[in-house]
Amino acid sequence: MLLGISTKEFTFLGFLPLNKKSRKQKLEEIEESSKTLIIYEAPHKLKNTLSDLKKFLGQRKVVLAREITKIHEEYIRGTIDEILEKSENLKGEIVLIIEGNKEKENTKDENNLLNLTLEEHFEFYKNQGLEKKEIIKKIAKDRNLPKNEIYKKFIN
């Protein structure tokens, strides 16, 4: 967990492009990312950047970190709208840490399960402490197969 945002992976973006076309492309690209995003921003450009992020990312959780490792270090947590409200007249070095797209993260996890053999898929749920009947239901749902087809594989 990083400053209140749980993470699996990070993407360090540095500063967003200033060119409108390049900026829009980068924002469309990061819209789909399930990774936590880290962006640097100048105080006088912060409001525009947060507005752009809101258009593409909606109301994801954000941490605004200001003056990291300095005496006036500060962290502001909230949604993009909440950060916009709290970030008037900030000075200093600013880093935005933005939650990844959770919907994409869940899809990625589901796709990983489909790459497993049936036995590995079964073991995955068994290791979570589920009963055989519940495991069969989950595998059938994950693979979009009838339960009885999965049951026949594990009848012993």
The string of DSSP codes covering 23-70 is HHHHHHHHHT--SEEEEEE-GGGHHHHHHHHHHHH-S-EEEEEESTTS
Domain ranges of the chain: 10-100, 116-153
Task: Per-residue pLDDT tens, the chain, 156 aa: give them.
Answer: 455 554 457 788 899 999 999 999 989 888 878 788 999 999 999 999 999 999 988 888 999 999 998 998 999 999 999 999 988 888 899 999 998 877 655 554 555 777 788 888 888 888 778 888 888 888 888 888 888 888 888 775
Domain 10-100 has CATH 3.40.1160.10: no
